[in-house]
Amino acid sequence: MAEKLFAQLTYEQAVRKYSDTVTGICVMRLQNMADAEDCYQNVFVKLYYKSPEFESDDHLKAWLIRVTIRECTSYMRKMRRQIPTETLHNEKIMFDYDSRDISWALMKTPPKYRDVLYLYYCEKYRVKEIAQILKIKENTVKSLLKRGRDILRSVYGGDNA
């Protein structure tokens, strides 16, 4: 039987190539490593079993980002319904302060802004690409980036950030 290909990559190559992207989004959205690992697995299981056709590596990466965001949102919704918040004892992921790494600061921003900021600063997508991936208008992305930057500025401690 022939091996499945995803944008000319084997399943293992796709997992290796996009593992950091999916992990980063899961960690930023869920802020809990165990939950992030669950969602990470779910995303790649969906890739394997759905086996969608991809035009290019960029198309595959965009698909993985959209599925990861949806999977995290669904996971948070499911967990909120199943477990009362009083009983949760999740360990928050802590990042050491490093002026070159904004991960710790992104964790302090509301999820509404976190996705756009993460895609822009960590994944190096342009506004137009983020709009296409998230299926929102470019002006919405620009607004979220501006407001998110204001929040990051306050997290970094002032106007010099």
Q: Same domain for 27 and 89? A: yes
Q: Are residues 80 and 133 in the same domain?
A: no
In the chain, how many domains are there? Answer: 2
**pLDDT tens track, the chain, 161 positions:** 457 888 889 999 999 999 999 999 999 999 889 999 999 999 999 999 998 889 999 999 999 999 999 999 998 888 765 444 444 444 444 444 444 567 777 888 887 898 899 899 888 899 999 999 888 999 999 999 999 999 888 877 765 54
Do 108 and 142 have their domain in common? yes
Verify that 73 and 117 share a domain, yes or no.
Answer: no
Q: Which CATH number is 128's domain given?
A: 1.10.10.10
CA distance 62 to 160: 33
- The DSSP secondary-structure symbol of 109 reads S
Task: With beta carbons less than 8 A apart as the criterion, state whether 132 and 82 touch.
Answer: no
Q: Are residues 4 and 81 in the same domain?
A: yes
Give the pLDDT confidence of 60-90 residue by residue, as tens digits: 999 999 999 999 999 888 876 544 444 444 4
Among 40, 60, 93, residue at a domain's last position: 93
Task: Say if residue 80 is in the same domain as residue 3.
Answer: yes
Secondary structure (H, E, C), 81-116: HHCCHHHCCCCCCCCCCECCECHHHHCCCCHHHHHH
Residue located via tokens 């690992």? 37
- pTM, whole model, 2 decimals? 0.72
Confidence (pLDDT) at 97: 43
Which domain, by its residues, includes 133? 97-161
Residues 161, 155: Cα–Cα separation, whole Å: 9
Asked if residue 84 and residue 120 are part of one domain, the reply reads: no
Residue 5 token pair: 């290909």
Residue 101: the pLDDT is: 61
Task: State whether 80 and 41 are in the same domain.
Answer: yes
79 and 152 share one domain: no
pLDDT of residue 94: 47
